[in-house]
Amino acid sequence: MELKRRNKVTADFNMSSMTDLVFLLLIFFMLTSNFVTPSGLPVNLPTTKKSDNIQAAEVSVTITNDMKFLVGPKQVTLENLEAELKSALSKVSDNKFVVLHVDKAVPTEYFVKVASIANSLGAKVSLATKTEQ
């Protein structure tokens, strides 16, 4: 007399719980990642106390210590800065923000010129700094 088992044991592996876990980890790492846009050139930024008010950069303007002006990755002269900044701001959304990455050795006169150009184009201006240790 041969006895048969009613329940067969299968060696299948269900991947749905594994994909749920991978998507949860992906969401966790996306939410905890740093949203700061790095500057293209090494600029010695001034230091401030820790600030919780971080603004996402729509347009980045960099002034290096050897007086090179960059709008995003493109190098421009001070005379062409307004035209390039106007072109870059026309490509962004309604909230126009210009983040200035100014080396701390640059005279204030140039920082004020760039800030006034951005302000005249209707953009909000903020200065990028690094936090004190």
Dihedral sign, Cα of residue 20, residue 22, residue 28, residue 30? negative
Cβ contact 97:126 at 8 Å: yes
Q: What is the pLDDT of residue 57?
A: 57
18 token code pair? 């594994």
pLDDT tens, N- to C-terminus, the chain (133 residues): 677 777 777 777 777 788 899 999 999 888 887 665 555 556 666 666 665 555 555 788 888 888 888 888 888 888 888 888 888 888 877 778 888 888 888 888 888 888 888 888 888 888 777 777 6
Rounded distance between C-alpha atoms, residue 74 and residue 69, angstroms: 8
Strand partners of residue 47: 130
Closest CA to 71 of 50, 103, 99, 112: 99
Q: Which residues have CB under 8 Å from 35's CB, separation 6+?
A: 54, 56
Cβ contact 60:99 at 8 Å: yes
* All structural domains of the chain: 47-131 (3.30.420.270)
10 Å Cβ neighbour count for 98?
25
Q: Full-prediction pTM beyond 0.75?
A: no
Q: Quick: pLDDT tens for 83-107.
A: 888 888 888 777 788 888 888 888 8
Strand partners of residue 106: none
Q: What is the pLDDT of residue 24?
A: 92
Enumerate the H helices of the chain as residue ranges.
16-32, 81-90, 108-120
Q: Quick: pLDDT tens for 32-45.
A: 876 655 555 566 66
